[in-house]
C-alpha cells in the first residue's frame, strides 16, 4: 500500500524539524568548545587572560555579523541550503582550528567558525516559520523541540569537550566538534535539493499580517524585536557572571575555581532545566491564553533575577535554575508569536533582524555589567539585569494590548 500524501507530508515535516533541531544543538556545541578548553590553550601558547578574551571575542563578535544576511539568503534560496552551508563550513573551521599553529591562526579559525555559525539561527527559525501553514499553533512545539536540542548542545559541550581536551588535548576537542556537522550536512543538502528555491511567490498574501501601509513590520512584531533585544542583553550578563556569583555566595565548597572558569557541572544543570522550559512552553502555547502565559513567564524571569541579587545559598541556586527554565520558555513563546506575526516569505529576514539585535546589544552586557560589578559587587549585576527585564514586562504588556490578547481575541492562526 502506497503511503498517503498527507502521511508523506507529515513525515517530511517531522524530519525537517529534527534536522533543524540537531543543527541547533551542533551550533551551540561548537561555539562552547573554546571556553571549555581555555586553560589548555593558555598552557600551550602562554597567553594571558586578556589575550584569551580577545580570541573568544573574535568568535562571538562574528557570531552575530551574518545573521541578517543569512536571513535574507534563507528567504531567497531556502533555509535548508543555508543550514547545509553552515554545517559544512563550521566543520571545516573546527578542523582548521585544530590545526592552528599559534594565536593568530587560532583567532582566524575562531572568527571563521563564528561567521558560519551565525547562519544557523535565522535560517533555522525561517524554516520553522515556513511550516506555520501546515502546523498552525503547533509551530510552538516545533520551536520548543528545536530549543530543547539546542539546550542539549549547550549543556553537553562544557562537560564533554573539557573531558576530551583533558584526555587527548584541546585540538582533539575541535576535531570531535567537526563530526556532527559533517554527518548532518548530507541529509540537509538532500532536503535542500527537494525544496523549491522560493516557497512563496512575490504576490502571495497568504497568512501575512501587515501594517496600515502594507509593511510586514507591524506593531506587535516591533515589540517582539524590542523584547528579544532586552532579553539578549539579560542572558549575556546572566551567563557571564553566574559562575563567579555562585562561587562567592552559593556556599558550595565543591564549586572550584576551575569549574567556574570552564562552565562546570552547575551551568550544565541550569541549561538542562532551560530545555524543560522549552518543552513546557511548546505544549502550553497550544492553548488560548498565550499572552497571559507570555506575561507570567517574563515576570517570573524578572523576579528570579532580582532574587539572585538579594539571596544566597540554596535559594540562589533555586533562583538560578528557575530563571533558566523561565528564560528559555520565554524564548519559545516569543519565537512562536514572531512566527505567527511574520509573513512566511520573510521568516528568515525577520529572524535575522532579531538575532542581529539580540547578539549586537547583548554583547554590551559583559563589559557594562563588569564595570558595575567592580564598583558595587556581583549581586548588583543581577539586580540591574532584573531592572532591564522590567522593560521586557512592559513590552509584553503592550504586546497583549495591541493584539487584543487581554480580551481573549486574536487573529486566526
Q: Rounded distance, CA 356 to CA 121, Å?
A: 10
Give pLDDT tens digits for 346-361. 777 888 888 888 877 7
- What pLDDT, on a 0 to 100 scale, did the predictor assign at position 260? 35
Residue corresponding to grid cell 567537526? 178
Show the cell assigned to 283: 505544549
| 302 pLDDT higher than 80 | yes
Task: Judge whether 285 and 334 are in contact, CB under 8 Å.
Answer: no
- Provide the pLDDT for residue 83: 93
What mean pLDDT, rounded, does the chain reach?
79
Give the pLDDT score at 281.
Answer: 85
At residue 214, the pLDDT reads 47
How many angstroms separate the CA atoms of 25 and 174, rounded?
15
Contacts of 254 (CB under 8 A, 6+ apart): none
**What is the pLDDT, as a whole number, of residue 203?**
40
Q: What are the domain boundaries of the chain?
A: 12-198+215-407
Statement: residue 310 has pLDDT above 60: yes
Res. 97: pLDDT tops 60: yes
Q: Are 17 and 131 in contact (CB under 8 A)?
A: yes
Q: Cell numbers at residue 408, please?
A: 481573549
Contacts of 99-104 with CB under 8 Å at 24 or more apart are: 99/171, 100/171, 102/45, 103/45, 103/47, 103/51, 103/55
Residue 413 predicted with pLDDT over 60: no
85, 112 contact by CB (below 8 A): no
Q: pLDDT tens, 66-91?
A: 788 888 888 888 888 999 999 999 99
CB 260 within 8 A of CB 366: no
How far apart, in whole angstroms, are the C-alpha atoms of residue 190 and residue 177?
22
Q: Is the pLDDT reported for residue 226 higher than 80?
A: yes
Residue written as cell 557570531? 63
pLDDT value for 250: 53
- pLDDT score of 142: 83
Stated pTM of the model: 0.73
Q: Which of 159-163, 261-265, 305-309, 367-371 has the highest mean pLDDT?
A: 305-309
Sign (positive or negative) of CA dihedral 66, 67, 71, 74: positive
Share of residues in the chain with pLDDT > 70 (%): 79
Residue in the block written with cell 573551521: 93
pLDDT of amino acid 233: 87
Fold classification of 12-198+215-407 (topology level):
Growth Hormone; Chain: A; (1.20.1250)
Amino acid at each position: 500500500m502506497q503511503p498517503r500524501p498527507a502521511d508523506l507530508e507529515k513525515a517530511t515535516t517531522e524530519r525537517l524539524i529534527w534536522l533543524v533541531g540537531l543543527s541547533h544543538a551542533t551550533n551551540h556545541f561548537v561555539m562552547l568548545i573554546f571556553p571549555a578548553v581555555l586553560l589548555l590553550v593558555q598552557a600551550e601558547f602562554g597567553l594571558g587572560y586578556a589575550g584569551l578574551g580577545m580570541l573568544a571575542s573574535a568568535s562571538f563578535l562574528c557570531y552575530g555579523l551574518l545573521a541578517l544576511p543569512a536571513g535574507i539568503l534563507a528567504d531567497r534560496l531556502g533555509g535548508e541550503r543555508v543550514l547545509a552551508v553552515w554545517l559544512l563550513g563550521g566543520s571545516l573551521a573546527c578542523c582548521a582550528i585544530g590545526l592552528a599553529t599559534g594565536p593568530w591562526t587560532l583567532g582566524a579559525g575562531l572568527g571563521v567558525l563564528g561567521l558560519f555559525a551565525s547562519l544557523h539561527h535565522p535560517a533555522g527559525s525561517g524554516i520553522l516559520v515556513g511550516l506555520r501553514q501546515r502546523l498552525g499553533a503547533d509551530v510552538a512545539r516545533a520551536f520548543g523541540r528545536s530549543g530543547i536540542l539546542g539546550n542539549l548542545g549547550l549543556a553537553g559541550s562544557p562537560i564533554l569537550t573539557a573531558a576530551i581536551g583533558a584526555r587527548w588535548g584541546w585540538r582533539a576537542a575541535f576535531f570531535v566538534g567537526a563530526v556532527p556537522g559533517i554527518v548532518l550536512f548530507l541529509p540537509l543538502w538532500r532536503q535542500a535539493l527537494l525544496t523549491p528555491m522560493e516557497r512563496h511567490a512575490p504576490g502571495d498574501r497568504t497568512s501575512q499580517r501587515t501594517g496600515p501601509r502594507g509593511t510586514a513590520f507591524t506593531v506587535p512584531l516591533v515589540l517582539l524585536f524590542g523584547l528579544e533585544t532586552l532579553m539578549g542583553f539579560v542572558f549575556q550578563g546572566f551567563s557571564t557572571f553566574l559562575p563567579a556569583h555562585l562561587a562567592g555566595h552559593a556556599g558550595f565548597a565543591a564549586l572550584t575555581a576551575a569549574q567556574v572558569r570552564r562552565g562546570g557541572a552547575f551551568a550544565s544543570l541550569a541549561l538542562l532545566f532551560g530545555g524543560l522550559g522549552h518543552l513546557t512552553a511548546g505544549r502550553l502555547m497550544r492553548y488560548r491564553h498565550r499572552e497571559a502565559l507570555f506575561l507570567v513567564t517574563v515576570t517570573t524571569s524578572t523576579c528570579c533575577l532580582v532574587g539572585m541579587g538579594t539571596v544566597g545559598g540554596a535559594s540562589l541556586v533555586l533562583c538560578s535554575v528557575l530563571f533558566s527554565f523561565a528564560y528559555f520558555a520565554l524564548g519559545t513563546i516569543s519565537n512562536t508569536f514572531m512566527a505567527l506575526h511574520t509573513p512566511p516569505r520573510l521568516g528568515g529576514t525577520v529572524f535575522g533582524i532579531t538575532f542581529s539585535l539580540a547578539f549586537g546589544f547583548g554583547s554590551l552586557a559583559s563589559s557594562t555589567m563588569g564595570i558595575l560589578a567592580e564598583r558595587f559587587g556581583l549581586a548588583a549585576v543581577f539586580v540591574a539585569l532584573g531592572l532591564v527585564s522590567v522593560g521586557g514586562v512592559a513590552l509584553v504588556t503592550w504586546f497583549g494590548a495591541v493584539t487584543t490578547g487581554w480580551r481573549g481575541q486574536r487573529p486566526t492562526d
